[in-house]
């Protein structure tokens, strides 16, 4: 593809990246060579093919933030620092477009919008051998058992003491065991015959059948509730929002240092002068946790036993939850810091505009949505 006014075709550019699944995935083969894949890498391949340029990828240390240098001046670290210093032409990963970064590098158009969410470990489901009793209150169960015993004993006594007792057919068991089985089968709506020869026993069993007729609706309710209890795990979330996370003290939380999220929380806390405000409490928790990278954050969530929550990009959190082999991770619906991902380019580089046009074209065609669904 020939681009008018662009002379950088057929050139090889240096691209810096950091591993952040599913946007950038690093695979080391047996021969020692490195294979790069992921959403952002596939997007880079598409842009390279459309604009006709080559690239060489090398791994950076972090996304980058402003830090004090050796001489006391503020310098950029990470991938942003690599672009500013000229070590890299592009930075490709889950790179957030922020006003601070745009002062020193250029960004393409956003290729994905995102926000910051919370990932934590699920509350373990407690298995109970007697969970089938949960649909009814224990008082209901006690009443049913008591009714079953009382009616069985009453029928047995009435059949024994009645002067008009007539022996039934030989296949009818009039013993206490047989009467109990008859009363129980009536309760569960099964068919078992019993030879009742006295008016009193017929009245008793008639009352029992009427009792069963009343609890038929309870039986229907029981089966429906039992299915819900056995198939749906009742997960009680103690944390359902960022406000809940900031207000509690039992669970630690944090995010990766020297990232846009980290800088954003620090900036918001500095703007808020109140010591116990939402942003101050959130920054206090984040500042107390030292997390090297995203993998370290997710590892701490998995190994903490519901003692740590990780603040990170929602698309990456969703990817981790869907690909968690133990299905042990969960998230919340609320989010903060709504931004977007873009490709960072050396300031003033003409290829930025051509990349942006190609990204917009991919968005119009729906190719970016297809690429997202693949990952």
275 found inside a domain: yes
Q: Same structural domain for residues 246 and 321?
A: yes
pLDDT digits (tens, 9 = 90+) for 163-220: 555 555 444 556 777 777 777 777 776 665 665 556 777 777 777 777 776 666 666 6
Closest CA to 149 of 126, 121, 190, 183: 183
At residue 38, does pLDDT exceed 60? yes
Highest mean pLDDT range out of 44-53, 128-137, 269-278? 44-53
Q: How many domains does the chain have?
A: 3
Binding-site sequence positions: 96, 101, 260, 313
Q: Same structural domain for residues 302 and 221?
A: no
Q: Same structural domain for residues 205 and 288?
A: no
The answer to whether 75 and 32 have CB atoms below 8 angstroms apart is no
Average pLDDT of the segment spanning 82-92:
92
| Average pLDDT along the chain | 81
Closest CA to 317 of 82, 21, 5: 21
Q: Same structural domain for residues 103 and 179?
A: no
Q: Same structural domain for residues 182 and 220?
A: yes
* Cα 309–Cα 258–Cα 48 angle in degrees, nearest 5: 105
Binding-site sequence positions for L-glutamate: 96, 101, 260, 313
pLDDT category of residue 107 using cuts at 50, 70 and 90: very high
165 found inside a domain: yes
Cα(341)–Cα(95) distance, integer angstroms:
5
CATH of the domain at 321: 3.40.190.10
Buried b (16+ CB within 10 A) or exposed e, 124-140: eeeeeeeeeeebbeeee
Q: Same structural domain for residues 321 and 347?
A: no
The answer to whether 294 and 62 have CB atoms below 8 angstroms apart is no
**pLDDT at res. 326:** 84
Cα(284)–Cα(280) distance, integer angstroms:
6
106 found inside a domain: yes
2 found inside a domain: no
- As beta bridge partners, residue 96 has 341
3 found inside a domain: no
**pLDDT at res. 253:** 92
Q: Which of 231, 255, 281 is the last residue of a domain?
A: 231
**pLDDT at res. 1:** 47
Q: Same structural domain for residues 333 and 346?
A: no
Highest mean pLDDT range out of 63-72, 105-114, 234-243, 275-284? 105-114
pLDDT digits (tens, 9 = 90+) for 288-315: 888 888 889 999 998 887 789 999 888 8
Q: Same structural domain for residues 147 and 219?
A: yes
In terms of C-beta distances under 8 Å and separation of at least 24 residues, what long-range contacts does 198-202 make, across chains too? 198/158, 198/159, 198/162, 198/164, 198/165, 200/158, 200/162, 201/155, 201/158, 201/159, 201/162
Cα(165)–Cα(180) distance, integer angstroms:
18
Supply the range of the domain harboring residue 251: 120-125+237-337
Q: Which of 231, 248, 274 is the last residue of a domain?
A: 231
**pLDDT at res. 235:** 45
Closest CA to 58 of 19, 95, 21: 19
pLDDT category of residue 129 using cuts at 50, 70 and 90: low
Closest CA to 6 of 353, 253, 250: 353
The answer to whether 233 and 125 have CB atoms below 8 angstroms apart is yes
Q: Same structural domain for residues 310 and 247?
A: yes
**pLDDT at res. 271:** 82
Q: Are strands 12-17 and 54-59 parallel, antiparallel or unpaired?
A: parallel
C-alpha distances in Å from residue 305, one per residue of 237, 256, 295, 325 = 14, 20, 17, 16
7 found inside a domain: no
Lowest mean pLDDT among 30-39, 68-77, 98-107, 336-345: 68-77
270 found inside a domain: yes
Lowest mean pLDDT among 73-77, 173-177, 195-199, 370-374: 195-199
Q: Same structural domain for residues 158 and 69?
A: no
Q: Which of 177, 211, 231 is the last residue of a domain?
A: 231
The answer to whether 331 and 119 have CB atoms below 8 angstroms apart is yes
Q: Same structural domain for residues 315 and 290?
A: yes
Q: Same structural domain for residues 244 and 283?
A: yes
* Cα 176–Cα 180–Cα 186 angle in degrees, nearest 5: 150
Alpha helices in the chain (DSSP H): 39-51, 78-85, 99-102, 138-161, 176-187, 199-231, 242-247, 260-271, 278-287, 294-304, 314-322, 351-365, 367-374
109: Cβ contacts below 8 Å, ≥ 6 apart = 342, 356, 359, 360
At residue 111, does pLDDT exceed 70? yes
Cα(309)–Cα(362) distance, integer angstroms:
35
Q: Is 340 helix (H, G, I), strand (E, B) or coil?
A: strand
59 found inside a domain: yes
**pLDDT at res. 75:** 87
């Amino acid at each position: 593809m020939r681009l008018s006014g662009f002379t950088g075709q057929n050139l090889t550019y240096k691209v810096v990246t950091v591993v952040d699944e599913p946007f950038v995935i690093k695979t080391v083969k047996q021969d020692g060579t490195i294979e790069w894949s992921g959403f952002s890498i596939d997007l880079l391949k598409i842009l390279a093919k459309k604009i006709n340029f080559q690239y060489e990828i090398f791994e950076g240390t972090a996304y980058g933030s402003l830090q004090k240098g050796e001489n006391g001046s503020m310098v950029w670290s990470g991938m942003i620092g690599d672009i500013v210093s000229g070590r890299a032409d592009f930075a490709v990963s889950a790179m957030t477009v922020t006003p601070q970064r745009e002062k020193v590098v250029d960004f393409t158009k956003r290729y994905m919008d995102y926000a910051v969410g919370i990932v934590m470990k699920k509350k373990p489901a407690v298995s109970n051998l007697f969970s089938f009793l949960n649909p009814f209150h224990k008082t209901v169960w006690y009443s049913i058992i008591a009714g079953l015993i009382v009616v069985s004993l009453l029928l047995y006594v009435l059949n024994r003491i009645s002067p008009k007792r007539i022996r039934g057919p030989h296949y009818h068991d009039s013993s206490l065991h047989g009467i109990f089985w008859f009363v129980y089968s009536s309760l569960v709506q099964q068919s078992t015959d019993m030879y009742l020869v006295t008016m009193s026993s017929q009245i008793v069993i008639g009352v029992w059948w009427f009792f069963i007729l009343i609890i038929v609706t309870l039986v229907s309710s029981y089966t429906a509730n039992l299915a819900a209890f056995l198939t749906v795990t009742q997960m009680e979330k103690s944390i359902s929002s960022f406000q809940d996370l900031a207000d509690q003290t039992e669970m630690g939380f944090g995010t990766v240092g020297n990232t846009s999220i980290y800088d954003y929380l620090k900036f918001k806390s500095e703007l808020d002068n109140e010591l116990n405000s939402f942003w101050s409490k959130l920054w206090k928790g984040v500042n107390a946790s030292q997390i090297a990278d995203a993998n370290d954050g997710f590892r701490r969530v998995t190994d903490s036993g519901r003692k740590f929550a990780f603040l990170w990009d929602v698309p990456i959190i969703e990817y981790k939850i869907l690909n968690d082999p133990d299905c042990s991770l969960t998230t919340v619906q609320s989010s903060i810091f709504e931004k977007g991902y873009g490709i960072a380019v050396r300031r003033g580089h003409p290829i930025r505009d051509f990349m942006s046009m190609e990204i917009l074209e991919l968005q119009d065609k729906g190719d970016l949505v297809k690429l997202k669904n693949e990952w």
